[in-house]
Structure 1
Amino acid sequence: MERRAFLGAVGAATGLLAAPAVVRAQAPITLNGASQFNPEHVFNRTMTKFQELVVQYYGRPVNFVMHNNSSLGLEKQYFEYMSAGRAVDFAIVSPAHMSTFSRAAPYIDAPFLFRDLAHWNKVLDADLLKPVADEVERRARVALIGYAGGGVRNIFSSRPATNMAQLRGLRIRVQGAPIWSRTFQAIGMAPQVIAYNEVYNAIQNNVIEAGENEAAGVEQMRFYEVGPNLILTQHAITIRPLCFSVQTMQRLPRELQEAIRRAGKEAGTFGRQTESSEDGQKVDALASAGRLKKVEFTERAQMNAAVQPVMAAYAKEIDAEQIHNRINALTS
């Protein structure tokens, strides 16, 4: 009798000691996101949608911590953190910042790749970018779980230009991927690679004369204050992958991994629809407020013709020739 009582007491005590571990095991998982922008930016709203969908599809609590306003650096750092499996678990990152890990990655966001929004949407719906995404995931250990973007990029400048001759020699900031410098050089401009957060001061101090961005970036970074002429070159339509660290993913329950990939795809669609619909509205609003002057560019066809040999050579160089040809062959 005494032995049974003793064993019962030991079992009860063991259960009490184990209880904290059970509580800890059931505690919500915490995932960290990062953004250069404030919560109103379309990228941040896309990541908020992602968080909501993850919780919905997982069916259990998940803690999300967003580090906004560049508090953890810039997109290049976010991608490096995700690749290393530390500090940042998810973020929206320009493909230009993936070039260290994949030569082909910047191609999916290259200028003059898409003819218009209809063509851009068809390329994404056909999943023509999958070979690039697979390479990034394999080599950088970062999964491209969705595609946001949809902003049409134009040139904001301290001086106007309506044709190719007036663009010649324009000192313009471009992204770090080589294809951006090559294509802008082919047009006759003088591209310079400068950190995104230094563009405003660089124009203000006449280090450069211009930059290029979609409307959301021009508005958020107040580039219109130093580059009030918006030259409507429409040279690119953005693709902004929603990225997730593979190392983080592998530590998570299988059900949560499935929820993250499902939510990422849907959040990316939300981001594309939101940004593409808001882009023109933002440009018009900035123009109506007198902050931007829209400058019609009359030689887009000539500009496109000048860069296509560069694009074809670049695609061949990075073994993306097949993707390049499939994109060009896809009719909008």
Structure 2
Amino acid sequence: MTFMKTTTTLLKGATLAALLTGAASAQTTLRGASMFDNDHAFTKTMVRFAELVEENYDGEVEFDLRLNGELGVESDYVTYLNQGVAIDYTIMAPSNMARFSPSIPLMDMPFLFRDLDHWNAVLSSDALAPLEAELLETADIVILGYTGGGVRNLVSSEPIANLDELNGHRMRVMGAPIQAQIFAALTAAPSAISYSEVYNAIQTGVIAGFENEAASIQNLKFYEVAPYVTLTRHTITVRPIVMSGKTYRDLPADLQEAVMAAGSEAGAFGRALESGEDGEKLQEMIDAGQVFVNEFEGREALLEMVVPVQDAYAAELGATELLESIRGM
């Protein structure tokens, strides 16, 4: 399979309304969705996933990957996956699945990972198996593997250098409550708004910034309205490769096996790709004069301030043991 095949094999005459009916085709076609273009690590990882499935499956399967947010944003994707319509697989932030699975954002909680080695150790183990089981039970979504590796920082219309400047900072966070709780504990003023509204919200002054990794800042040109990047390094992203449970159960057993194996291998591919590209993409924007980067003064204080919030969140979910296990790896 070639890259061009994956990104351009579209169903002739198909519309979003038709896709939402879940109409079946005579051949097994797995439809994916990406909010980004061909150059984004998520898209490349889904292309690699498709290649690996085809390499390891003897039957006929095609991949129909829709790019550039054609089928909406991640909050739409999770609904589609839960209902078994429109799309079969994607990559998304755990926080966007929180309304179906309250515990799942723990795997993407700010300040959870010490560094890339700690992050990789967790994702290469079975430490997150309890969260995978909950997601399948409550949302009917199967985790096939884990990609990610982007380092998330504050991105703002005005520079933020320390706690004093962070105090009251109006910023967008993802929808999971733990995201708002963490940044509120750091004295910011977080609010959960749709990702598709972030650019205009900054441009019009509704918010003064958000938090994100370099690839998305570059790909969606957020630097045009928020050129200041403050290196809080609060999150190393965990991005599950997910499939609708309804889709997965309908696949032949040998295709299920190929999909699961491909998810694990594509996840490792994506983690290496995105973690390697992260610094490069940030430097590209610096060199182009698109962003201005500064360290956060007294970052160590942030780490101390968030621990009680993390502990309380895990206790509420009955996940204290899981949190301690992740911290101890």
Normalising by structure 2, we get a TM-score of: 0.91
Deviations 1:30-82 (A, max 9, x none): 11101111121110100000000000010233111111111111111111111
Q: Which residue of 1 aligns with 2:188?
A: 189
**Stretches of 4+ aligned residues off by more than 4 angstroms:** none
Match of 2:305 in 1: 306
In structure 1, the residue matched to 2:264 is 265
Q: What are the within-5 Å matches in structure 2 for residues 288-307 of structure 1?
A: 288-307=287-306
Contact 1:123/1:327, CA 8 A, preserved across alignment = yes
d(CA) in 1 for partners of 2:192 and 2:150? 21
Q: Is contact 1:104-1:319 (8 Å) kept? A: no
Identity %: 46
Measured against aligned partners, the alpha-carbon deviations of 1:87-126 in whole angstroms (never above 9, x if no partner) come to 1100111111111111100111110111111111111122
Within 2, Cα distance between the matches of 1:130 and 1:221?
33
Rg larger in structure = 1
Deviating more after overlay: 34-43 vs 235-244: 34-43
Offset from partner CA, 1:263-299 (integer Å, 9 cap, x none): 0111111111100000001111100110010111121
2:80 alignment partner in structure 1: 81
Deviation at 1:27, TM superposition (A): 6.0
CA distance in 1, matches of 2:123, 2:249: 26
Matches within 5 A, 1:270-289: 270-289=269-288
3-state SS, counterpart of residue 295 of structure 1: strand
For residues 238-258 of structure 1, what are the alpha-carbon distances to aligned partners after superposition, in whole Å with 9 as ceiling and x for unaligned? 001000111111111110010
Aligned to 1:59, what secondary structure does the other structure show?
A: coil
- Which residue of structure 1 aligns with residue 98 of structure 2? 99
Distance, in Å, in 2 between the alignment partners of 1:101 and 1:209 is: 29
Structure 1 equivalent of residue 44 of structure 2:
45
Tell me the amino acid that sits aligned with residue 255 of structure 1. D
Which residue number in structure 2 is paired with residue 19 of structure 1? none
Q: Distance in 2 between matches of 1:77 and 1:198?
A: 14
Describe the superposition over 1:123-171 as per-residue Cα deviations: whole angstroms up to 9, x where unpaired. 1122211100111012211101010100000011111122111111110
Distance across 1 between alignment mates of 2:99 and 2:199: 26
Q: What CA distance in whole angstroms lies between the structure 2 residues aligned with 1:193 and 1:100?
A: 13
Do structure 1's residue 249 and structure 2's residue 248 form an aligned pair?
Answer: yes
Aligned ranges 1:110-259 → 2 under 5 Å = 110-259=109-258
State the SS of the aligned residue for 1:184: helix
> Which residue number in structure 2 is paired with residue 315 of structure 1?
314
Q: Which structure's residues are more often helix, by fraction?
A: 1
**Structure 2 residue identity aligned to 1:124:** L
RMSD: 1.2
Equivalences, count: 305
- Gaps of at least 5 residues in structure 1 are 1-25
Give the secondary-structure state (helix, strand or coil) at the position aligned to 2:190. strand
